[in-house]
A and B are shown apart, each in its own frame.
Chain A
Amino acid sequence: MKHALSVLVNNKPGVLLRVVGMISRRSFNIDSLSVGVTQPPEYSRITIFFKGEAYIVDQMIKQIGKIPDVTAVQLHNPKDAVYRGMTLVKVRTDDDNRLDVLKIAELFRAHAVDVQTTTLIFEITGQDEKVEAFTRLLAPYGILEIIRTGQIAMERGEKTINNYAEKKEFYGKSVI
């Protein structure tokens, strides 16, 4: 299963390496990663997408949470969060099929950001499934290049990552 983790960290050099290094040290794999400064700029927010069973999720949260520069770790539930990533697709077109291609793009709310006589570049945002369907439809025309950013995730409703900002000193769990 695919999971999304948002991590709020101090905006300092080396912190990303620390988080990523911890993950690789534990032999976990990252599907996608995106990092950016937040408002206020003292913090950065890292979004990590990864696959794995409950054990990996549990360890990712706890091990990342241990790093002194990490101030909050939030695990997203796909139902309660918005996932977004951006993709740029360069597709080959000619005068005959350009309109068809633009129609498909319209259906997917993709924007043409560059138009040339032989190529078009589209920008599309959204979840992976949508992007995949879009590229599948464009494939017959000849895709020259695809580039994707890492996905980001934000909880719907009132809850924000700041709710998680206070790390617990004590931790207990029971499964009886």
Chain B
Amino acid sequence: MRGSEAVVKCLKAHDVDTIFGYPGGMILPLFEALRKEKDINFVLTTHEQSAAHAADGYARASGKPGVCIATSGPGATNLVTGIATAFMDSVPMVVITGQVPSTLLGRDSFQETDIFGITMPITKYSFKLDRAEDLLPAVQEAFEIASSGREGPVLIDIPKDFFYADVKYKEKKVEKKIDKRPDADFLIYAAEAIDKIMQAERPIVIAGGGVILGQAQEELISFAEKYDLPVVSTLMGIGVFPNNHPLYMGFAGLHGRKAANNAVAEADLIIAAGSRFGDRQTGNLDKYVHNKSFIHIDIDPAEIDKNVHSSIGLAGNMKTILQLLMQRTPVNNVKTWWTMLKNWQKKYMYNYDGSYDVPNVMHYISQTINKKNADFAVVTDVGQHQMWAAQHIKRYKPRTWFTSGGLGTMGFGLPASIGVQLYYKNKRRVVHIAGDGSIKMTGSEYYTMAALNLPIISVIINNESLGMIRQLQKVFYGEKYFSSEFAYKMDYAKYAKSFGITAYNVYSMDDFIEVFSNAIEQNKPQVIIVNISKGFVEPMTRTDSGINTFVDF
């Protein structure tokens, strides 16, 4: 069998039904094999970066590795931002790049790039093939590596001649690695952790994206309920703890809810589940760790003590560990703590008054998409709109909130929406929230969205600025705005319409309510441009102080 056919067969064996990509000379043999494969849906994007983001979105939604392919040289380098985005958020992905024929390697041949070297620091693993015999085992292993332990992107760079080489196809059973039983030491640490939780006066749980990846939502809820623990989430953890649950305090961090940030700042014990204590979550580390102890649960042992020194570190399967932590009868007394927490919740409750600003727009979206029998996923780009969405759009289930947390990639939203929508098909519909800056980065994917007739509702928050940059220039550069305001007006509605997509301009809250409800009714691609004045995302914590010290605007 030809190498290219073996690769396609292997993809099929790994349950791959959708591939995103873009053609070019060195990857064409694989395209030829894909053409003949009816069970795999190939999605042609308008740019390789988008193919990577779309595969990433597909993976975040499905929990399976997303697959994208590109040609050598410029095709491969265009993937880089998408690979780095997936890497930072621990998203399983298999990336296949074509490479110049092995006989031309190392001669600066046409469209030759060392993509293996370029992507080494942003992949979980990568394969550079020396012999055609290694092709198939590499593809098989790539899936195993991408989806085991802490998940991440894996790249395979394939010289063109290997696609033509004769290889033997051997079906390899995909073995799900079973977690080893926890060892004796581990059980002792878990027991110590329970003691610590029960002794704590002001304990709090931080739920991170790792709980979603570890499929441990139920365990997390039972764990928090059992010990009556308040829960905040990280940006990546939004949705894992139902946002209407009485124990939920909101999202914490640089732009987190005040009640949530106060709770974290005043806690004496932090139980972090699947969170890597990123700097957007902690702010100033010295202030953050002051007077606290930490129990850190993560699948990746290298995360324990990387950013925050913990008293107890438990590395392994999130489900198993949370179950272990639930084995005793609680005796803690957190009543006084809850009185404090409830006060903050009341004091800092957001007052939605229906005025025409982004928080009210997000609140309306939240109310609409969380109605009974409605099932929506929210995908954001990066900027103020992302933070407003995180603050005001309630999520109740894992894998219904998608955002670029680690890399903060503008342009992630639209292509990722395409991946998410393709996975959810008719079961769940995507609302994409972008800024007018972000949409200009990968807006060409409106072409793909229209071509596939995906019923994504894309909401552009048009503040005629790079709002988040403007905000930083206000706070740190004495309101000297530079390169953050768009003096040249663009007609986003016409832009969307040029792809054949229905688009609406909105100038008031009433407009928005009408247009958005209407968009929900129609099952087709739509773009809504919310033309709105410039503003600032509050709260914002002061990075030099504790996470409950806020910037005044």
Interface string of B306-342 (1 = CB under 8 A from A): 1000011111100000000000000000000000000
- Say whether A169 contacts B305, CB under 8 Å: no
- Say whether B312 contacts A55, CB under 8 Å: no
A62-70, A96-104, A147-155 - interface stretch: A62-70
Taking the nearest CB of chain B, how far is it from the CB of A138, in angstroms? 42
- Say whether A55 contacts B305, CB under 8 Å: yes
In the bound complex, what is the Cα–Cα distance between A30 and B301 (angstroms)?
A: 22
For B116, the closest partner residue in chain A by CB is A14
B162-189 residues at the A interface, CB under 8 angstroms: 179-180, 182-183, 185-186, 188-189
- Say whether A172 contacts B300, CB under 8 Å: no
In the bound complex, what is the Cα–Cα distance between A58 and B307 (angstroms)?
A: 12
For A66, the closest partner residue in chain B by CB is B302
The answer, yes or no, to whether B196 is at the interface (CB within 8 Å) is yes
- Say whether B312 contacts A174, CB under 8 Å: yes
Taking the nearest CB of chain B, how far is it from the CB of A141, in angstroms? 45
Taking the nearest CB of chain A, how far is it from the CB of B471, in angstroms? 29
Interface string of A39-79 (1 = CB under 8 A from B): 00000000000000001001100110110100000000000
The answer, yes or no, to whether B451 is at the interface (CB within 8 Å) is no
In the bound complex, what is the Cα–Cα distance between A27 and B128 (angstroms)?
A: 25
The answer, yes or no, to whether A168 is at the interface (CB within 8 Å) is yes
- Say whether A13 contacts B312, CB under 8 Å: no
In the bound complex, what is the Cα–Cα distance between A18 and B122 (angstroms)?
A: 11
A76-111 residues at the B interface, CB under 8 angstroms: none
- Say whether A171 contacts B301, CB under 8 Å: yes
Given contacts A169-B316, A170-B183, A174-B311, contact A59 B306 (CB under 8 A): yes
- Say whether B121 contacts A21, CB under 8 Å: yes
Q: What residues on B are CB-neighbors of A169 within 8 Å? A: 179-180, 316
For B301, the closest partner residue in chain A by CB is A171
The answer, yes or no, to whether A25 is at the interface (CB within 8 Å) is yes
- Say whether A170 contacts B117, CB under 8 Å: no
In the bound complex, what is the Cα–Cα distance between A168 and B185 (angstroms)?
A: 12
In the bound complex, what is the Cα–Cα distance between A66 and B301 (angstroms)?
A: 9
- Say whether B120 contacts A176, CB under 8 Å: no
- Say whether A173 contacts B313, CB under 8 Å: yes
In the bound complex, what is the Cα–Cα distance between A176 and B293 (angstroms)?
A: 10
B108-145 residues at the A interface, CB under 8 angstroms: 116-117, 120-121, 124-126, 128, 130, 145
In the bound complex, what is the Cα–Cα distance between A172 and B316 (angstroms)?
A: 9
**Which among A14, A21, A68, A170 is the interface contact of B315 at CB below 8 angstroms?**
A170
For A175, the closest partner residue in chain B by CB is B311
Instruction: Summarize B's interface: helix, strand, loop or mixed.
Output: mixed
The answer, yes or no, to whether A17 is at the interface (CB within 8 Å) is yes
For A25, the closest partner residue in chain B by CB is B121
In the bound complex, what is the Cα–Cα distance between A173 and B295 (angstroms)?
A: 10
- Say whether A14 contacts B301, CB under 8 Å: no
The answer, yes or no, to whether B190 is at the interface (CB within 8 Å) is yes
For A167, the closest partner residue in chain B by CB is B301
Q: What residues on B are CB-neighbors of A66 within 8 Å? A: 150, 300-302
Q: What residues on B are CB-neighbors of A22 within 8 Å? A: 121
**Which among A55, A65, A176 is the interface contact of B301 at CB below 8 angstroms?**
A65
Best-surrounded residue of A17, A59, A174, A175 (most CB of chain B within 10 A): A174
Q: What residues on B are CB-neighbors of A62 within 8 Å? A: 301-302, 304, 306
Best-surrounded residue of A21, A55, A176 (most CB of chain B within 10 A): A176
- Say whether B314 contacts A172, CB under 8 Å: yes
Taking the nearest CB of chain A, how far is it from the CB of B304, in angstroms? 7
Given contacts A59-B306, A62-B302, contact A171 B315 (CB under 8 A): yes
Taking the nearest CB of chain A, how far is it from the CB of B328, in angstroms? 17
Taking the nearest CB of chain A, how far is it from the CB of B172, in angstroms? 17
A131-176 residues at the B interface, CB under 8 angstroms: 168-176
In the bound complex, what is the Cα–Cα distance between A169 and B149 (angstroms)?
A: 9
Q: What residues on B are CB-neighbors of A59 within 8 Å? A: 302, 305-306
Q: What residues on B are CB-neighbors of A25 within 8 Å? A: 121
Q: What residues on B are CB-neighbors of A21 within 8 Å? A: 120-121
Taking the nearest CB of chain A, how far is it from the CB of B325, in angstroms? 12
Q: What residues on A are CB-neighbors of B120 within 8 Å? A: 14, 17-18, 21
Taking the nearest CB of chain A, how far is it from the CB of B442, in angstroms? 27
- Say whether A172 contacts B302, CB under 8 Å: no
- Say whether B312 contacts A14, CB under 8 Å: no
Interface string of A1-42 (1 = CB under 8 A from B): 000000000000110011001100100000000000000000
Taking the nearest CB of chain B, how far is it from the CB of A14, in angstroms? 6
Taking the nearest CB of chain B, how far is it from the CB of A147, in angstroms? 28
Given contacts A13-B130, A170-B180, contact A176 B121 (CB under 8 A): no
The answer, yes or no, to whether B192 is at the interface (CB within 8 Å) is yes
In the bound complex, what is the Cα–Cα distance between A88 and B312 (angstroms)?
A: 48
In the bound complex, what is the Cα–Cα distance between A25 and B122 (angstroms)?
A: 10
Taking the nearest CB of chain B, how far is it from the CB of A11, in angstroms? 13
Interface string of B265-309 (1 = CB under 8 A from A): 000000000000000000000000000000000001110111000
Taking the nearest CB of chain A, how far is it from the CB of B154, in angstroms? 9
For A69, the closest partner residue in chain B by CB is B125
Given contacts A55-B305, A58-B305, contact A172 B313 (CB under 8 A): yes
- Say whether A172 contacts B312, CB under 8 Å: yes
**Which among A13, A68, A172 is the interface contact of B185 at CB below 8 angstroms?**
A172
Given contacts A169-B316, A171-B315, contact A63 B188 (CB under 8 A): no
**Which among A58, A63, A68, A173 is the interface contact of B312 at CB below 8 angstroms?**
A173
For B314, the closest partner residue in chain A by CB is A172
Taking the nearest CB of chain B, how far is it from the CB of A23, in angstroms? 11
In the bound complex, what is the Cα–Cα distance between A15 and B504 (angstroms)?
A: 53
Q: What residues on A are CB-neighbors of B150 within 8 Å? A: 66
In the bound complex, what is the Cα–Cα distance between A143 and B518 (angstroms)?
A: 85
Supply 10 A–B pairs (Cβ within 8 Å), ascending by A. Answer: A17-B117, A18-B120, A62-B302, A65-B301, A170-B180, A170-B182, A171-B313, A172-B186, A172-B315, A173-B313
Known pairs A68-B125, A172-B189, A174-B313 / 14 extra A-B pairs, C-beta < 8 Å = A14-B128, A17-B117, A62-B301, A62-B306, A169-B179, A170-B186, A170-B315, A171-B301, A171-B304, A171-B313, A173-B313, A174-B189, A175-B311, A176-B311
Closest 5 CB pairs of A and B: A172-B189, A62-B302, A171-B315, A171-B301, A169-B180
Chain A interface residues (CB < 8 Å from chain B): 13-14, 17-18, 21-22, 25, 55, 58-59, 62-63, 65-66, 68, 168-176
